[in-house]
Amino acid sequence: MKSIVMARYVGAIRPFVPAIAGMLKMKLRQYVPASALAAALWSVTFLAPGWLFGASIDLVAAVAGRLAVVLVVVLGLIALIWATVFYSWRWLGAHTTGMIERALAWSHRHPVLGKYSEALIDPNRPESASLLLLGVVLLAAGWGFFTILISVGGGSAPSQLDLAVHQAMFGLRNPLADTAMAFLATLGDAVVLTPAVLGVFAWLWWRRRHVAAWHWLAAPAFALVLTWFLGYLLDMPKPPASTAVLGFSFPSATVTMATVVYGFFAVLIARELPGRGRAWPYVVAALAVTLLGFSRLYLGAHWLSDVLAGTLLGVLWIAALGIAYRRRVVRSFWVRPTATIFFAIILGMACWHGSRSTGALLERFDPPLVATQLSGDTWWRQDWQLGLPDRRNELHGRDAWPLNVQLAGPLDGLRARLLLSGWENYRTGGWHGLLQTLDKRATPDDLPVLPATHLGRAEVLVMVRPGSAPGRMKVLRLWATPVQLQPGDEPLWIGTVQELEFTRRLDFVSYWQAQPGEDALLDDLRADALGLESALEARDDDGQRVLRLRVPAPATTD
């Protein structure tokens, strides 16, 4: 009987079990219970992964929404960089000698390249492998950079890929991820990099490693001049979020400088490390530059071509300067104090500067709404279901929250009336609130409601009141729209009213879950909005009811 249960999990044996049981004259009262139990256990085991995955997707969407997508992308980039650097290093370690020999043999047959290859690559020198690798990187980075440069100079920027990536990143915006991305975006600021550059330069100079010190100082200095020169020559349109920010768009000076500083520091200290330890500085440098570039794309500070061009320009300069440095330097230096000085200053300045400038950075790169004018009477009578989305763009598609509330006029007019009806102003939770979802002691009284986004923007108004039962609450969320009603440039807001229930899932995650039946809440909200002009109608396409509210204009006196 045990073999019948086990055979159910082995595809090649499963079809033969009934025949073997019959050949062995197994009794029916033994075979049927064992086979039924095996089928039930196998079915549960087969379906359980899909059920758990689906439940996890619903849980992630309810708790973190697009924050989970951002985290998955970041973790994927980290894993990709780690695997690329280490596997490339392992492959090169086994094939470098053969590559050097073939490169020299080919160059000797060339009338011009022979004398240069012998000067660059000497099989008897331990630096030949590094020089060859830097030469390959130099050629690859140069080809990539000049390809993008020709594209931008030819007037084809921003490209369709730039626009697609920009829109995708804007759709991933989440208030919880914004703070982390703004912090990562400061890793390339001059306030963070300059003290580290000067600190390492002073240490190398004091240790009488003058050649290394001058090469280290030349790396960011030349990169700064080169990015300024290219930015001055090329007029690259900026993304909408950075039009009010000073500086050039192409190439990204922040990404270029970070690539040069982190990358050349890896070239500087990797030479002094043994064996596979040489790969770690390049992993750290690649991670820092990749996270910086991703955060700048996430905030809308640059196009993809700006970030790629900045990275390739930095790698191009690192490879050229690295070849010059590796050919000249024969004296080694102590890596540990040099790395300690560099990373201690970087981490210290990043924490200090990032904690102070995160809020201002998010304000600088908050993309403005492009105003669209619409007649107030036209909106009230006919255009209320044509010009605005009917659902919040989230991970659930058609199952996303319905946008069933529209408000014309100042928010304070609605807020004052709802406060009189028992509603309360509410401040959504941040990272601390997200961590509270993992607290098994969390209760409906202390677990905050997490923020939600629509089209990359957080709510401008959140109000709550007790729900229909303990552990429930009604929540009204409103987001800004680009529509301005005429006359008077009256703002138009769009939002949703829903009931949330305190839910515990998998016995370790607690969160507020949106409940169906939003239509029933619209009548109550309409009654609570005392004195506001209101209309409650159903959409023509799906029958979803939408409550429209209008704050009366203040009375004027002559």
Query: Residue 557's pLDDT band (boundaries 50, 70, 90)?
Result: very low
Higher pLDDT, 175 or 205: 205
For residue 242, the model assigns a pLDDT of: 62
pLDDT at 182 over 80: yes
* Sequence spans of domains, the chain: 2-61, 127-364, 372-550
Segment 94-110, tens digit of pLDDT: 555 565 556 555 555 55
- DSSP-derived pairing of the beta strands 461-466 and 545-550: unpaired
Locus of tokens 């689906």:
54
Segment 487-524, tens digit of pLDDT: 878 888 888 888 888 888 766 777 788 887 777 788 88
Q: How many Å apart are CA 124 and CA 105, to the nearest integer? A: 15
Query: Residue 252's pLDDT band (boundaries 50, 70, 90)?
Result: confident
Instruction: Determine whether 279 is exposed, middle or buried from the number of CB atoms within 10 Å of its CB (0-12, 13-18, 19+).
Output: buried
Segment 7-59, tens digit of pLDDT: 777 767 777 778 888 888 888 877 888 888 877 777 777 666 555 545 444 55
| CATH, domain 127-364, list 1.10.20, 2.20.25, 3.40.50, 1.20.144 | 1.20.144
For residue 143, the model assigns a pLDDT of: 73
Q: How many Å apart are CA 250 and CA 239, to the nearest integer? A: 11
CB 283 within 8 A of CB 265: no
pLDDT at 191 over 80: yes
Lowest mean pLDDT among 131-135, 270-274, 332-336: 131-135
For residue 131, the model assigns a pLDDT of: 56
Lowest mean pLDDT among 116-125, 169-178, 225-234: 116-125
Lowest mean pLDDT among 67-71, 196-200, 256-260, 421-425: 67-71
Q: How many Å apart are CA 160 and CA 398, to the nearest integer? A: 27
For residue 8, the model assigns a pLDDT of: 72
For residue 154, the model assigns a pLDDT of: 61
Lowest mean pLDDT among 165-174, 290-299, 300-309: 165-174
For residue 64, the model assigns a pLDDT of: 60
Lowest mean pLDDT among 79-88, 111-120, 275-284, 404-413: 111-120
CB 331 within 8 A of CB 209: yes
- What is the DSSP annotation of 224-250? HHHHHHHHHH--PPPPGGGTTS-S--S
For residue 299, the model assigns a pLDDT of: 85
pLDDT at 254 over 80: yes
The two tokens of residue 450 are 């997490």
323 CB-near residues (< 8 Å, 6+ apart) = 120, 131, 134, 135, 138
pLDDT at 387 over 50: yes
Higher pLDDT, 40 or 64: 40
Locus of tokens 């529509």:
483
Query: Residue 344's pLDDT band (boundaries 50, 70, 90)?
Result: very high
The whole-chain average pLDDT of the chain stands at: 77
162 CB-near residues (< 8 Å, 6+ apart) = 303, 304, 305
Peptide linkage before 487 cis (omega within 30 of 0): yes
Segment 355-374, tens digit of pLDDT: 888 888 887 777 777 778 88
Lowest mean pLDDT among 105-114, 274-283, 404-413, 515-524: 105-114
The two tokens of residue 428 are 């959504």
pLDDT at 330 over 80: no
For residue 198, the model assigns a pLDDT of: 92
Locus of tokens 């409906």:
444
For residue 558, the model assigns a pLDDT of: 46
Q: Nearest-CA neighbor of 95 among 125, 138, 132, 134? A: 132
- Write down the pTM of the prediction: 0.70
